[in-house]
Chains A and B, each alone.
Chain A
């Protein structure tokens, strides 16, 4: 295996890792503030990507041709719309079930994900077929021997990492972040300190969903194709990544995302059997990791009270 191929796999892995980390961050944020898993996350992501796609169709229709303007419009519509949807789900489905058993919340959001997926498949025009997502980023490439570095992947990775960094700043440096961390640590004390609990929860769900929509747009721009089922697998991977990293921890989610991408790349490149088995390998390692570290690589601090 020559250098070019290794570099190609590495670049691919970094891009996938950024995308998975962005999805996993949402799971971990929701778990932090509310101790729930919102399993419809992946399908909300898919919905966000479709909103972006529709926005692009609309911009085409009114004659905006500049790809950068189009990209800006797509991102604003997609992130904003998805943030609203995320907050709405939190308000009407997740918050009312705060006292219900964990399994119920998990099931409701799982079923909500199915409902969103099916609704897009059935009601979006021609929704059961894959859609060609436009290539809005420059398609120039730098050739380094057999390795070609695509400009769009570099931009995507930088933007994704920038977003993760920004999120980290928001969580650790702003008043909103302080409130989110306070609620995550102890809801009741946070309320006593005058934090508007509902608002913080809604804001967290909006942020997490918006970030996921960014990952969806990233996915669309990179593969130039979106379909109604993309959210299921991305959501599963993001959930697995958040879990193996350790729920409730931002760094755990990032670690988990890159770890999962690494596993897929290893499964595709290094293992003797066909690359089609890469997901089988990655999920098998996830199961093995769960057996080894039952609460993730960076475990949440908790103890069972009797």
Chain B
């Protein structure tokens, strides 16, 4: 309690300044990283990031940032979103960079879905890529039916993922621990094998996916503003940003609601939660269905964006990669998931020599994180019911 009066005069004047500075710096940094072409530039930028993080931890800036964030969270989240939109427009003619941004955002969205299960309710789901793929395949199949508006396809992608998780509900709810893990693992393998042998769904070759269309606007055509032609990935990046923002908002609300509270209780102690009258079954069912629906929606948009999908993109290893995002970021930590998604997606793409080694690299990274920092990069903060009181007011 002694540090509160010392730090409060500085942060009381502008209790968001440090957070805002970090967001803007992160935006500029993301731009520099995405535009960096040479290996030495990327390596230099990565070294800079490591140095900045270490400096922030040493000088106490990290704690200041944390205080800012809990004091004016809404404002800072909005600023982060605005920075993201600006970043997308600044990058407007760089195809590859925008594809990276959109992929990161979709993986971030997917990891938020998994976070409901792993982070909030404490359930294991090792079929993340399968539900993601279910959404993508839905988009592929419905794309051939012109009568279905693509925005509805997105929702239906989530719907199909949800329907596919229904048969798993009974085994998931009745089993715990290892036994529950085997159910999702078996489903993931089953799903992938099914896609590979099913001729109607394209077999191992996969399917083409029709592009997104919104109010008659084809997402695969380049938008032109004031005579300036932009990459068509701007469309997808903006839509992915909107989706990520929407899901983020939903997640924050879920976390603060009584449903999130129930999930926390079930994760920490099922027996105790049941003693307090929380329906463990209902909570687990909610977490499982909600998470999978989010995975399905992000998968559907991902399929439309890359326009070609095959079973090889939805393997057990990809499920593990999604789980790595959740764990690296920190269980239940949304911003941690964003940082981890950026690391997991961008690092192998920017450092081409890592591309081949990415599964090896991230599996070792996750082992190290689990051994030495089990809470992840940005651990989930303690639930604060009275935000203003914790900020020292």
Contact = CB atoms under 8 A, between A and B. Distances in A.
Interface of A: 31, 37, 93, 96-97, 100, 102-104, 106-108, 110-112, 114-115, 117-119, 122, 232-233, 236, 239-240, 243, 247, 274, 276-277, 279-280, 283-284, 286-288, 290-291, 294-296, 304, 306
B356 A283 contact: no
B22 interface: no
A102 B178 contact: yes
> Which 10 A-B pairs give the minimum distances between C-beta atoms?
A118-B360, A276-B197, A114-B363, A291-B171, A111-B363, A290-B171, A283-B190, A294-B174, A283-B186, A291-B170
B179 A290 contact: yes
A289 to B, nearest CB: 9
A247 B178 contact: yes
Instruction: Find the residue from B175, B182, B320 having the highest chain A CB count within 10 A.
Output: B182
Given A37-B181, A111-B366, A295-B179, 5 more contacts: A107-B323, A108-B366, A114-B363, A276-B197, A277-B194
B182 A243 contact: yes
B359 A239 contact: no
| B interface, over-half SS | helix
Interface stretch (B8-16, B223-231, B305-313, B367-375): B367-375
B7 interface: no
Nearest to B122: A103
Sorting the interface of chain B by its residue count into under 10, 10 to 19, 20 to 34 or 35 or more gives: 35 or more
Nearest to A239: B182
Contacts of A233: 189
B278 interface: no
Contact of B320 (A97, A110, A280): A110
Contacts of B170: 291
Contacts of A112: 363, 367
A291 B182 CA distance: 12
Given A106-B124, A243-B179, A290-B183, A118 B167 contact: no
A287 B357 contact: no
A103 B271 CA distance: 18
Contacts of B320: 110-111, 114
A259 B7 CA distance: 65
B28 interface: no
B122 A287 contact: no
Contacts of A108: 366-367, 370-371
Given A114-B359, A115-B367, A236 B189 contact: yes
Instruction: Find the residue from B118, B167, B187, B367 having the highest chain A CB count within 10 A.
Output: B367
Contacts of B118: 103
A247 B176 CA distance: 13
B370 A280 contact: no
Interface string B157-198: 000000000011011001111110111011101100110110
B185 A122 contact: no
B185 A118 contact: no
B129 to A, nearest CB: 13
Contacts of B356: 122
Interface string B361-393: 001101100110010000000000000000000
Contacts of A243: 178-179, 182
Contacts of B324: 111
Nearest to B181: A106
28 contacts: A37-B181, A97-B371, A103-B122, A104-B374, A107-B370, A108-B371, A110-B126, A111-B324, A112-B363, A114-B359, A118-B363, A240-B186, A243-B178, A243-B182, A277-B193, A279-B190, A280-B190, A280-B194, A283-B187, A283-B189, A287-B171, A287-B190, A288-B171, A290-B179, A294-B174, A294-B175, A296-B179, A306-B271
A156 to B, nearest CB: 25
Contacts of A280: 190, 193-194, 197
A203 B175 CA distance: 30
